[in-house]
Amino acid sequence: MFDFTDRDLKEEHDIRIIGAPFDGTVSFRPGARFGPAAIRDASDGVETYSPYLDADLETVHYADAGDLELPMGNTEAVLAIIRETVDECLNDDVIPFLLGGEHLVTLPAVEAVFEKYPELVVVQLDAHADQRDDYLGIELSHACVMRRVSELVGDENIRQLGIRSGTQREYELMKGFGTLTTFRDDDLDEMVAWIGDRPVYLTIDLDVFDPACFPGTGTPEPGGIDWWTFNRFIKAMMECDIVALDAVELAPQLDTSGCSSVLAAKAVREMLLAVSPIA
């Protein structure tokens, strides 16, 4: 079994877990602010060993910085705090790993990482395109996060997998810039080749999973992936230079069984193993 809270910043580490419990711009059902705590709680019942990756967290040097204290009523202040915290990780030469929280927490993290790695590419797993120019007049919304990221790093430097919901305009953008790809083996191989030796920011909105196995999210969408598809993706990404990552949009109170939190914790385990220099 493993428990994030057993790993503190006093230990030497390569990866730093940071909780970003914010859901101030969610468009449907709130509750993602409770995601980081639920992932930590569920992690205590998950083995350290991944049979699919044949790797063990006992070999990974990671630490848990705990949850950030975020002013829920001030989105811009929240983003500034996250940006500063990710900057600290990069200055300490450790990989930042955000636990959301809603998907907007990705934006300040990408901003910080892009400043250090100007050739950054972003790989997004998600049910939703998140490519809106604004949502109800608000540009800083979780429904717009990838549009803001695209404006920063360039649409040509993004790949999106699992998307199955969006406006007509969003699909026109994604098709026009060729950001959409799939989990087919050939497409994964092509994506890894496209990434090459460039640094990667990996953002995983957990609603990419089908609600049949992951109902605990604010905006569930039918037709998502299963656990084994996720594992194939992670195994392919082990060839890449992942310099920062996040897992977002678990709303644990929406799944009273607790299964969504367990799946999220196992996904985080696989991600830690994939990004670790030891893996």
Grouped pLDDT means (10 residues each) for the chain, 279 residues: 69 93 87 96 95 94 95 93 98 97 96 98 97 80 92 97 96 96 98 98 98 96 97 96 98 97 98 80
What CA–CA distances, in Å, run from 50 to 45, 47, 68, 161, 176? Answer: 14, 8, 29, 23, 38
Q: Give me the torsion for CA of 38, 160, 226, 37, rounded to 10°.
A: 0
The C-alpha angle with vertex 218 and arms to 22 and 53, in degrees rounded to 5, equals 85
Distances (CA, A) of 117 to 89, 195, 244: 14, 14, 11
What six digits make up the tokens of 64? 């848990």
Number of domains in the chain: 1
pLDDT at position 200 is: 98
How many Å apart are CA 103 and CA 100, to the nearest integer? Answer: 7
Domain extent at residue 139:
4-275
Q: Is 61 annotated as a binding residue?
A: no
CB within 8 Å of 117: residues ≥ 6 apart? 199, 243
Residue 13 marked ligand-binding:
no
pLDDT of residue 25: 82
CATH code: domain of residue 34: 3.40.800.10
Residue recorded with tokens 């594992």: 231
pLDDT at residue 279 in the model: 44
Is 205 flagged in the annotation as binding? yes
Q: What is the pLDDT of residue 137?
A: 75
Establish whether 130 is an annotated binding residue. yes
Cα→Cα distances 36→19, 54, 240, 254, Å: 5, 26, 26, 14
